Structure 1
Amino acid sequence: MPQLPLGTTRRVLLYPVRDCLLACLYPFKGVFYFIGHPFLYPLLRARLLPAFLLSAFVLVNLFFWTYLPQVAFLALFHRSGSAWVNGTFLVLGEGSAIVAVLFEAFLVDESQVDIFDAVLVHKGYDDLVREYRSVSEDSMNNPLQRLGRPTRSSVYGPFSVRQIAEFVVLLPLNFVPYVGVPLFLFLTGYRAGPLQHWRYFKLRGFDGKQRNAFIKRRRWEYTWYGAVYLLLQLVPGLSMFFLLTAAVSSALWAADMEDQRRRQEAQVSQAPGYTDEPES
Structure 2
Amino acid sequence: MSQSPLVVVRRVLINPARDVYFACLYPPKGIIYFVVHPFLYPLVRARLMPAFLLSAFVLLNLFLWTYLPQVAFLALFHRAGSAWANGTFLVLGEGAAITAILFECFLVDESQVDVFDAVLVHKGYEDLVRQYRPVSEDSLNKPVRRLGKPTKSSVYGPFSFRQIIEFVVLLPLNFVPYVGVPLFLFLTGYRAGPLQHWRYFKLRGFDKKQRNAFVKRRRCQYTWYGAVYLLLQLVPALSMFFLMTAAVSSALWAADLETQRRRQGPSEGPRYTDDPEDSTV
Matched, 1:168 2:168: yes
C-alpha contact (below 8 Å) 1:30/1:245 kept by paired residues:
yes
Match of 1:235 in 2: 235
SS in 1 for 2:232: helix
C-alpha contact (below 8 Å) 1:173/1:180 kept by paired residues:
yes
Match of 2:90 in 1: 90
Give the AA of the match of 1:17.
Answer: A
RMSD: 1.3
C-alpha contact (below 8 Å) 1:20/1:221 kept by paired residues:
yes
What does residue range 15-54 of structure 1 map to in structure 2 within 5 Å? 15-54=15-54
C-alpha distance in structure 1 between counterparts of 2:155 and 2:21, whole Å:
28
The count of residues paired between Structure 1 and Structure 2 equals 268
1:278 to 256, 267, 272: 267
What does residue range 45-64 of structure 1 map to in structure 2 within 5 Å? 45-64=45-64
In the TM superposition, what is the alpha-carbon distance from 1:140 to its structure 2 partner?
2.4
Give the AA of the match of 1:99.
Answer: T
Structure 1 length normalisation: TM-score?
A: 0.93
Q: Which runs of 5+ in 2 are unaligned?
A: 270-281
Segment drifting more, 48-57 vs 71-80: 48-57
C-alpha contact (below 8 Å) 1:139/1:145 kept by paired residues:
no
C-alpha distance in structure 1 between counterparts of 2:239 and 2:105, whole Å:
14
- For each residue in 1:4-26, what CA deviation from the matched residue of structure 2 results, as whole angstroms up to 9, or x when unmatched? 52112111111001000100000
What does residue range 143-154 of structure 1 map to in structure 2 within 5 Å? 143-154=143-154
Structure 2 length normalisation: TM-score?
A: 0.93
In the TM superposition, what is the alpha-carbon distance from 1:141 to its structure 2 partner?
1.5
Matched, 1:252 2:241: no
SS in 1 for 2:62: helix
SS in 2 for 1:149: coil
Give the AA of the match of 1:31.
Answer: I
Match of 1:11 in 2: 11
Segment drifting more, 9-18 vs 148-157: 9-18
C-alpha distance in structure 2 between counterparts of 1:237 and 1:164, whole Å:
20
- For each residue in 1:17-55, what CA deviation from the matched residue of structure 2 results, as whole angstroms up to 9, or x when unmatched? 100010000000000000000001112211111111111
Match of 1:124 in 2: 124
C-alpha contact (below 8 Å) 1:34/1:40 kept by paired residues:
yes
C-alpha contact (below 8 Å) 1:24/1:228 kept by paired residues:
yes
C-alpha distance in structure 2 between counterparts of 1:59 and 1:139, whole Å:
45
In the TM superposition, what is the alpha-carbon distance from 1:105 to its structure 2 partner?
4.7
Match of 2:185 in 1: 185
In the TM superposition, what is the alpha-carbon distance from 1:124 to its structure 2 partner?
0.1
C-alpha distance in structure 1 between counterparts of 2:134 and 2:170, whole Å:
41
C-alpha contact (below 8 Å) 1:139/1:146 kept by paired residues:
no
Match of 2:101 in 1: 101
SS in 1 for 2:66: helix
C-alpha distance in structure 2 between counterparts of 1:48 and 1:193, whole Å:
23
Aligned-pair identity (%): 81
Match of 1:141 in 2: 141
Give the AA of the match of 1:140.
Answer: L
Give the AA of the match of 1:7.
Answer: V
Match of 1:272 in 2: none
Give the AA of the match of 2:29.
Answer: K
- For each residue in 1:167-220, what CA deviation from the matched residue of structure 2 results, as whole angstroms up to 9, or x when unmatched? 011000000111100110010000000000000000000000000000000000
